[in-house]
């Protein structure tokens, strides 16, 4: 663990021809065959494995997971508002520590190859900045193990929950890298009120914007137009994302074209985690072909919103492929890019990838091709973060939590 040189012997970088990877001082120092073993180097045999860049979970909610606690039977109603109300009640009842829960979860994310996570952290008049401080403390404690980016997230709405905008402003001043939003129509009933407030903070502070948009059909579509209008007017192109954007999977072709043009004009990124059931979601392959920036994430992982997500981003790529009906290698590789390069670009990771000079953040997984790893998503053989082995055979090497 403390060695500064590591050789990954004979794996297939991104499923290409086998090559050795030399890691030195946290970076990829050389790729080739064979790299001679130095005296102090730690050598890992990766024959029969694919080496992939570290996974990017660019949409999570680590502060409110129930991970590691006794099974909690899901009992929320079907609407977003029902789920928000249920979550408040569940979290109040369980009284969990957001710091402990988020630490439990990132240990698990690391074991599955996630090297970077963007997490939306709840702020509300009831919670105040408690969760923000908890996740910031967890982030500091895990800084050598995983990179964490924080979105200040108004889960209960902005206009509908007076006092929230002041909390969002405070969170950004305290270092949240992005400001979030949620269904300006569906939750707040005041799209201009919510969007004006959060975009004013973004314009003033320079933080990014990542808005949850579950509102469907034309309501969602006009909300994207409103988001684009503000992105354009404030010169925030490339700094705004819309998460979920279910509406993009519901529009007829000409209406969708209009929105794609706006999305491209202002370089707005679209996040989908390929939601379960019959929930519509953006047409991934079409948007990718048109040049729209896409990315993905786990969303809630075993929390009051649902018990199913596992935090395994390679499984997430599989689920994207599954829901999109991808069978060809190109589709599986697109799903893989959503959890690797696309996510890294969205959260602004510098030196990401498997080239010489890149940060040594990568995952070794059994298989021969990149597409195959998505289809099979087997246990991770090895996870390397900042040049150190942080997980082996599906288990994180983090010391036990205090
Ligand atoms: Zn979310």
- pTM equals 0.96
CA of 262 from ligand 1 middle (Å) equals 23
Of 107, 138, 141, nearest to 396 by C-alpha is: 107
- pLDDT of 2: 46
- pLDDT of 340: 98
CA of 300 from ligand 1 middle (Å) equals 6
- pLDDT of 1: 42
First-to-final CA distance of the chain:
20
CA of 215 from ligand 1 middle (Å) equals 13
**Bridge partners, residue 133, by sequence:** none
- pLDDT of 80: 82
DSSP letter at 303 equals B
Share of residues in the chain with pLDDT > 70 (%):
99
Kindly report the average pLDDT of the chain as a whole number. 95
CA of 265 from ligand 1 middle (Å) equals 25
Residues 330-347 pLDDT 10s:
999 999 999 999 999 999
CA of 297 from ligand 1 middle (Å) equals 9
- pLDDT of 75: 86
Residues 205-229 pLDDT 10s:
999 999 999 999 999 999 999 999 9
Whether 60 shows a pLDDT value over 90: the answer reads: yes
Task: Report the DSSP pairing between strands 240-244 and 178-182.
Answer: unpaired
CA of 120 from ligand 1 middle (Å) equals 7
Distance CA 271, CA 388 (A): 30
Helices (H), 96-248: 98-111, 130-141, 164-173, 191-205, 217-233
Residues 141-156 pLDDT 10s:
999 999 999 999 999 9
CA of 180 from ligand 1 middle (Å) equals 10
Distance CA 360, CA 353 (A): 8
Residues 384-397 pLDDT 10s:
999 999 999 999 99
CA of 213 from ligand 1 middle (Å) equals 9
Distance CA 305, CA 179 (A): 21
Question: Taking the mean position of all CA atoms in its chain, how far away is CA 103?
Answer: 16
Burial state string for 309-324 with b = 16 or more CB within 10 A and e = fewer than 16: bebbbbbbbbbbbebb
Residue 287 tokens, joined: 């948007």
Listed in sequence order, the residues at least 6 apart from 146 whose beta carbon sits closer than 8 Å to its beta carbon are 106, 109, 110, 114, 115, 116, 117, 385, 390
CA of 58 from ligand 1 middle (Å) equals 10
Of 238, 249, 240, 239, nearest to 273 by C-alpha is: 249
Whether 402 shows a pLDDT value over 60: the answer reads: no
CA of 281 from ligand 1 middle (Å) equals 14
């Amino acid at each position: 663990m403390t060695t500064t040189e590591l050789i990954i012997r004979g794996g297939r970088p991104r499923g290409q021809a086998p090559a050795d990877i030399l890691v030195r001082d946290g970076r990829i120092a050389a790729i080739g065959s064979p790299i001679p073993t130095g005296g102090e180097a730690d050598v890992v045999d990766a024959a029969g494995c694919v080496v992939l860049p570290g996974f990017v979970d660019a949409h999570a909610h680590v502060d409110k997971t129930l991970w590691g606690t006794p099974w909690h039977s899901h009992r929320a109603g079907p609407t977003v508002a029902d789920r928000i109300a249920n979550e408040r009640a569940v979290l109040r009842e369980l009284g969990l520590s957001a710091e402990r829960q988020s630490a439990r979860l990132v240990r698990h994310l690391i074991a599955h190859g996630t090297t970077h996570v963007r997490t939306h952290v709840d702020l509300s008049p009831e919670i105040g900045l408690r969760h923000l401080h908890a996740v910031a403390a967890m982030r500091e404690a895990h800084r050598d193990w995983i990179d964490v980016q924080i979105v200040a997230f108004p889960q209960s709405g902005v206009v509908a929950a007076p006092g929230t905008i002041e909390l969002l402003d405070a969170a950004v001043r305290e270092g949240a890298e992005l400001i979030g939003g949620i269904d300006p129509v569906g939750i707040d009933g005041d799209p201009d009120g919510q969007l004006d407030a959060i975009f004013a903070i973004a314009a003033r502070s320079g933080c990014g914007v990542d808005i949850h948009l579950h509102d469907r059909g034309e309501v969602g579509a006009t909300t994207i137009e409103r988001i684009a209008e503000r992105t354009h007017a404030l010169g925030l192109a490339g700094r705004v994302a819309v998460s979920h954007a279910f509406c993009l999977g519901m529009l007829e072709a000409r209406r969708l074209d209009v929105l794609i043009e706006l999305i491209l004009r202002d370089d707005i990124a679209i996040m989908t985690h390929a939601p379960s059931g019959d929930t519509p979601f953006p047409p991934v392959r079409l948007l990718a072909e048109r040049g729209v920036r896409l990315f993905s994430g786990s969303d809630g992982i075993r929390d009051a919103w649902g018990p199913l997500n596992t935090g395994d981003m390679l499984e997430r790529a599989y689920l994207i492929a599954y829901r999109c009906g991808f069978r060809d290698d190109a589709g599986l590789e697109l799903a893989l890019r959503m959890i690797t390069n696309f996510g890294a670009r969205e959260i602004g990771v510098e030196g990401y990838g498997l080239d010489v000079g890149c940060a040594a953040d990568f995952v070794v997984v059994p298989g021969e091709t990149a597409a195959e790893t998505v289809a099979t998503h087997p246990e991770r053989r090895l996870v390397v973060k900042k040049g150190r082995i942080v997980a082996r055979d599906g288990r994180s090497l983090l010391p036990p939590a205090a």
